[in-house]
Chain A
Amino acid sequence: MDYEPLRLDTPPAVASCATCPAHHLGNLRRLGIDMTSWDYVVALAGNPNVGKSTVFNALTGLRQHTGNWPGKTVSRAEGGFVYAGKRYKLVDLPGTYSLLATSPDEEVARDFILFGRPDVTVIVVDATRLERNLNLVLQILEITRRVVICLNLMDEARRLGLEIDIRRLARDLGTPVVPTEARQRKGLDELVRTIAEVAEGRVLSRPPRLLHEPLALTRAVHLLVERLERLYPDLPNARWVALRLLDGDERMIQAVRTGELAELARLPETNTAMPLAAPAPASSA
């Protein structure tokens, strides 16, 4: 567990795939994202009413209406920004508490993170309700490792007298954590810098293993993962797919049947850049 977000001075060889705008073009186009003039796609996820739209507006300079009630963003909003000469497309996903249920807005968020394979997923987290927010963070970390956690509403946390050990949090989650106060535009520079690092493949998360997983489940998942990896050697998130299949998720079963999953696996992606994700030290890459 003693692990910090991995930083490499030189990007690994496979990272060049990530910078190639064609690497997931097909999927994104199917999701309605025009990729012609963007270098990276950044998804913005999070629980409802944690300030996602505020972060979105602050980064893009757009003024999408923000409101103080959960469920404000029911469809996807898109905008963009440029940083260090690269163009980033920002996609604001509907706020969800989980990715395991099946309401339409959760499906939008989940499908986008899984099938759209954004270069970076920023999870906006309410610092005053960390425990509840981390449920979603842990679920997203099962799907992708290109994650930045934006610990928002730090001002409210301070007002409530909460003290948050950000370094420890980042270490426990194996993921970069950036404290922000989006309403006051504080911490956004650092957020953008971190997004860029993840987009370029210089930082990847190494999520923690679930501590209290039932043994029977672990065994079932293991069996399925083995089979999945034989069928789709390049599937980036076999464990998550296995969990969904065990849950009888119709959408996932359909993705297996129609070959959508195979297609997904065939796309090169640095999420799975093995030298980074494997427990082995980075230098062995």
Chain B
Amino acid sequence: MTTDTLRSPLSITSPTTADAAETEELLALARRLRWEIGIDFHQALMEAIYAQAAHIADRAVTQPGAKPRFDLDRTIDRLVTSRRWGFPLMVLLFALIFWLTISGANYPSELLSNLLIGRIYPGLHALAGLVGLPWWLRGLLIDGMYLGTAWVVSVMLPPMAIFFPLFTLLEDFGYLPRVAFNLDAVFKRAGAHGKQVLSMMMGFGCNAAGVVATRIIDSPRERLIAMITNNFSLCNGRWPTQILIASLFLGSLVPAALAGLVSALAVVGVAILGVLLSLVVSWALSRTVLRGEVSTFSLELPPYRPPRLWQTLYTSVIDRTLIVLGRAVTFALPAGAAIWLVANIHVGDSSLAAWLIRLLDPIGWLLGLNGVILLAYIVAIPANEIVIPTVLMLTVLVTGMTDYGAGPGVMFELENTADLMQLFQAGGWTLLTAVNLMLFSLIHNPCSTTIATIYKESGSAKWTAVAALLPLGLGFVVTFLVAQIWRLLAG
């Protein structure tokens, strides 16, 4: 408490002056006293505060008499953080969430695309015909911007509306700190901060949010590591790509009854690979450019609380789903227009898109991908969400299978997966292409929003560049190696 003396209220208004010499003298006194009281002063003060807190708490709180009662929290904790069951339970729980998401999203997705693309889309064309819009404006607005947006909404909204509430329920229940507890030791060995697990979990929703969440990490060194590796958390914009490709190519390898499960496990596998990569990269960074001590922290395991169902639904729909969707739509509008333009501006005998694809094809082949995918990733720098629509549209363009969709440069929804498979096969896709697309979707540069957020949070152009280019380079290396080994083994 302050040792003020009684003063007249009038002195409050009188001006006070402290010139530079006096302030320096004050600081010098502080330095001298600091020297005198010794370095353990901080400790002593903390101890005094702790002692006081203990004293007051002790006086105010009556502990219940010896209670050998059954403690549910402790029992659950013993199970979910146990050495033997902790990890399997974690994988199982997340697999369950993805399986619910994948199998639950199909039907509403179909409904939405029937509405937005099956009905409204032709309606808009009819309307444009009535008004008499020129063909290029009609193409740009309806075939480009509207269809791009409609695709993003129908593909993204249902999985998000299922995934986010489930994830939020888990969070509300208090499970996430247990995950952090399980992974803490592993992360520590990688030279990263244990709290990086929490920002990583946020990254599974959105990497930009994950990067902001690294603020909970005190040490700048460990915070940078967390920011750079956050991109390895498969974000919401990339889930649809993973889910679609997994169910098309991997699900079809097994009997139909198992397809959903296998696809879900494949997606979980990619997500786990992301966690492993984030560990490896953290390890490498903390042993090279970001060397330093691992700081300790105390992680509080909060009591389990029954999740509030309606509030959770409300906040996860408003806060997460709609905000992420809004962002996706904002980027889909111009991207849809850009795709339509590159597909319809002709240079010489073929469209700009065709030229670019031909240019990128050799590089794509080396990486086990193709020019279409690479071009799609260039177009999709603003938002990962539009990769799949772009890939589909460009594939139609290349294969000339114009009986699908409505002409070059038009994003569209195919009626069923058999059609999609046929289209991909016509585009020269193999299992290798699918696997490498899933890998590249996990390991490439973060989206523009995340890059901007990293710059804002780190304040360093250099580290922002590292965060953007390191995953991209790694993605090239990984897909290249996989492609070479695959081809070697396949003969």
Contacts and interface: CB of A to CB of B under 8 A. Distances in A.
A128 B174 CA distance: 16
A212 B30 contact: no
Contacts, number: 239
Contact of B60 (A172, A208, A228, A234): A172
A71 B198 contact: yes
Contact of B15 (A94, A98, A259, A266): A266
Given A130-B60, A216-B37, A272 B4 contact: yes
B418 interface: no
Interface of B: 1-7, 9, 11-18, 22-23, 25-27, 29-31, 33-34, 36-38, 41-42, 44-64, 67, 168, 171-174, 176-177, 180, 195, 198, 212-213, 215-216, 218, 298-300, 302-303, 305, 308, 311, 314-316, 318-320
Nearest to B18: A231
Given A101-B218, A172-B56, A217-B41, 19 more contacts: A49-B302, A63-B314, A68-B171, A68-B174, A71-B213, A130-B60, A162-B62, A169-B56, A206-B1, A208-B56, A209-B1, A210-B49, A211-B55, A227-B26, A229-B5, A231-B18, A237-B2, A272-B4, A274-B6
A282 interface: no
Given A239-B1, A274-B7, A224 B302 contact: no
A39 B45 CA distance: 36
Given A138-B49, A142-B1, A211-B52, A256 B26 contact: yes
A128 B303 CA distance: 10
Given A130-B57, A239-B1, A246-B41, A256 B27 contact: yes
A209 B51 CA distance: 12
Nearest to B308: A183
Interface in A166-191: 166, 168-169, 172-173, 183
Interface string A261-283: 01001101000111001101000
A17 B319 CA distance: 39
Size range of the chain A interface in the assembly: 35 or more
A210 B303 contact: no
Contacts of A225: 2-3
Given A231-B16, A234-B12, A139 B49 contact: yes
Contact of A238 (B3, B174, B315): B3
A224 B33 contact: yes
Nearest to A237: B2
B60 A164 contact: yes
A74 B216 contact: yes
